[in-house]
Structure 1
Amino acid sequence: MVNDSYFGFPGRPQLEMIISEVVFFFYTIALIGNIAIILLPLLDERLQIPMYFFLRNLAILDLFYTTNIVPQMLVNVWGKDKKISFSGCAFQLFIDVTLCTVECMLLAVMSYDRFNAVCKPLHYMTIMNPQLCRGLVTMTWIIGIINCMILSTYAMSLPRCENHHLDHYFCEISAMVKIACVDTTVMEEILFALCFLIFLPRLLLILVSYSFIAVAVLKSKSAAGRQKAFGTCSSHLIVVSIFYGTVIYMYIQPGNSPSQDEGKLLSIFYSIVTLSLNPLLYQFSSIHTLRNKEFKGVMKRLIRKEKLSGETIGH
């Protein structure tokens, strides 16, 4: 197979243009927000705590995730040649499956971090030591790569009987399975089983962690402490709810998968819109609440440096 053609929403160019403009807007937000989260903790040692370590990894992940999809998608929507090479499609699929799996697991790891921060504040830095943090992130990548090698390799090897028309905006695994010309029941069962084993246990871990956090917050007699805990965890809960909810609806529904057009919109939502909202939610909630003074201090120093450099250039 030399190339795969993208369909998008055939016959509805106006809808495609609206969707592409929305995607471009959220992609711009993702670039600015995630780059800010990546750079700021590196500029001040006081921001180098476990929470920011995981936030920085999540930002790097989201940056690669959206960049893997959006540029090629916009080229296909805005251009006349709506094609992608076989190798390009395979690479896009491998990255998509890997990063989606890592995102799922990293959100669970971050819930464990929040559990220790709220429920065991005196031992937080001891428990969440640098070795453990690096080990947890490494584990998420190992599982993500293993899952990718199983699903993506199988999906790309399915015969298509000269059917090169991919009815989607990017090389997403369910869309790749649908263009196969053989019985894909086994593939669909494998996809469901792996999603079930990877996503649901992590979701359970998140729910258990936040159950303990809720109990600890309710027992707290300090209003400031309750507000701090709420601000620390609220953004993470919103991100988890949107991401997990969409992915579960997409993949963990045996015999009740969404329609093709609905699947396209949901894929765009969880892979682009949701990941673009992550930096906004974390910057204006968790970061603002947990380390308000430190974060503002870094921002002020950055602005001051920019002004000084601008004045130097002007003179």
Structure 2
Amino acid sequence: MSGEFELIDRITADLEVRDDVLLPVGDDAAVLRLSGDTVVTTDMLIENVHFKRQWSPARAVGRKAVAVNVSDVESMGARPSSVVVALAFPKDLDQAWVAEFEEGVKEECATAGVSLVGGDLSSAAIIAVCVTAIGDLEGRRPVTRSGANAGEVVAVCGRLGWSAGGLAVLQRGFRSPKELVAEHLTPTVPYGQGALASAAGATSMLDISDGLLADLGHLVERSDVGIDVETARVEIPEGVERVAAATGKPALGFVLAGGEDHALAATFRNEAVVPAGWTVVGSVNDSGKVTVDGVAWEGSTGWDHFG
């Protein structure tokens, strides 16, 4: 294994940065010039909690670490700008793992349109990744969880149920359907859609990470409204149907409560203003709770680390 500073030099070599980065890697901190208010978020990936090495290639872990953080920036209606990445790993970890991880980070940064502007390295008993993502509101107001109103519609953008289906497959020792497994390893974030939703007048928005119903519950609580999801409007992907049949679990449960989707959910004043690429799945009311087809959902609504 190379020393810490050799690793840093290799990771930061030939980094591409965007125009809003005034001072990139090389000093104690980076310097950015953003045109509007700044959005900041952070998230962690812990080995054997968020990923397993026997399932997840290092490149996929690097990509996922960036994706799940930038998704939160998108959910505020901001333009993603930059990330800093802190990585801790065992001293005896194969150097090739670290090299593939850094390539994954750079790949997802390019896909998301963000600059890698710093980070940290440390030794640890297991692999742990912490990413901080920064976004630029570019003069827009942030789209929060607290702006939904009764009479509006709820729409989603992204892939629901794919990640949960992929996890179910991996837990059974299989790797098919491949598209679901790939989605669990590296989520497909709808980059650019957060700002698009904001421009279309989204009244509230959030990242779907714990499961659609669980996360809509956060929106209901913050906005003091109710939400009803209409299952006739919810798409169930063919791969999810296959996994549901194989596991004996309801396909709808994967889509409504699976978690780790990193899609976006937002409320809009009416269906006419919902942007292309978004799907209306329900409506906002004043019930104070989340329902499915007008009744309470029986079963888990999503993931809870301490539940």
Task: Give TM-score scaled by structure 2 length.
Answer: 0.29
More strand by share: 2
More helix by share: 1
**Which entry has the higher C-alpha Rg, 1 or 2?**
1
